[in-house]
Amino acid sequence: NHAIEFNSLFTPAFVMDVDKAKRNAQRMIERCQKLGVQLRPHMKTHKTLECADIMTGGSQRCIVVSTPAEACFFADHGYDDILYAYSIPFDKVERCAALSERLDLIQILLDHPDALEQLRKRPLRDAIAKTEGVELRGVYAHCGNTYYCTGVEQIQAVAQETTKLTLQFIEKLKAVGITCKSSIGSTPTCSHPVKDMAQLSEVHPGNYVFYGVNYCFLMSQFQPCSFIRVWSGKSDPKLALWWSYFVCVSVCL
Ligand SMILES: Cc1ncc(COP(=O)(O)O)c(C=O)c1O
């Protein structure tokens, strides 16, 4: 009887169905293996060691984070090969440089020559060794616009377009002698990949561990299958249930 167990929780409490999260994670791992691309799961949705462990299959390697604080948190707990997926703000360069001293690999995103200039002043450890200052590791494109789609057909059209543009860019780089990795992928595109995505090096979805309510709306298959809840002990139970239904209901797909 979950209601009784929930009532004994110290609230607010985050409650999730671990078996469903494990199933969601396993399916994404298998999908990526089948495609032949490296899965680099994003941690921003949950920010927990438990889900990170589930999503990396225990490897503690190859993750994406959205802040240096998240990067430090996972680094403190043994994670490595961390990609900080936000065009680096100048005031975060120092923290990333410090992280690069502790980790085998930290990757950051640049989208402006000024950011490159900042990085030259304070290169990351790997970059120092290469004297040039900075090494381009790859091209990272995020197709967050898939959350405005309705249904698989539209999602796959976005997946196709993003893949095409990213690979075209990689080809242009190749033509001038630069070989590097390519990465795209929101939860919707990685849940319904198109064939050409097999030509990418990596994908970086994150939300799939929960398949949150946004995803359910966009797939038009919103089901009253409660999976994670923010449980508030003081609320009217009906109201709490309504909110949990709307804010956090997720399904196992
Ligand atoms: C830069 C970036 N990469 C990856 C992701 C993960 O995508 P999703 O939440 O669809 O799994 C996000 C999510 O917003 C993101 O902003």
Q: What is the pLDDT of residue 243?
A: 43
Is residue 68 a contact partner of residue 84, using CB atoms and an 8 Å limit?
yes
Q: Is 209 in the pocket of ligand 1 (CB under 6 A)?
A: no
Average pLDDT over residues 114-143: 70
**Residue ID of nearest Cα to ligand 1 atom 1:** 85
pLDDT for residue 158 is more than 90 = yes
- For the chain, what are the domain ranges? 1-36+140-253, 60-135
Burial 87-108 (b: 16+ CB within 10 A, else e): ebeeebbebbbbbbeebeebbb
- Residue 106 backbone dihedrals phi, psi, to 5 degrees: -130, 135
The fold adopted by the segment(s) 60-135 is Rossmann fold (3.40.50)
The per-residue pLDDT for 146 is 93
Query: For residue 211, is pLDDT > 60?
Result: yes
Q: What percent of the chain has pLDDT over 70?
A: 78
| Average pLDDT along the chain | 83
CB distance 205 to ligand 1 below 6 Å: yes
Q: State pLDDT tens for residues 95-111.
A: 998 898 899 999 999 88
pLDDT at 118 over 90: no
Whether residue 146 has its Cβ less than 6 Å from ligand 1:
no
pLDDT at residue 58, as a whole number: 96
d(CA 232, CA 119): 45
Q: How confident is the model at residue 234 (pLDDT cuts 50, 70, 90)?
A: low
Report the relative pairing of strands 181-184 and 13-16 from DSSP bridges.
unpaired
Q: In the predicted model, is pLDDT for residue 25 greater than 90? A: yes
Confidence (pLDDT) at 244: 41
- Ligand 1 touching residue 186 (CB < 6 A): yes
Residue 128 has pLDDT above 70, yes or no: no
pLDDT at 201 over 50: yes
Q: Write down the pLDDT at residue 39.
A: 98
pLDDT at 110: 87
Query: What does the alpha-carbon distance between residue 173 and residue 61 come to, in Å, rounded to a whole number?
Result: 27
Rounded Cα distance between 31 and 193, Å, is 9
> Which of residues 246 and 189 earns the better pLDDT score?
189
Residue 125: is its pLDDT beyond 60? no
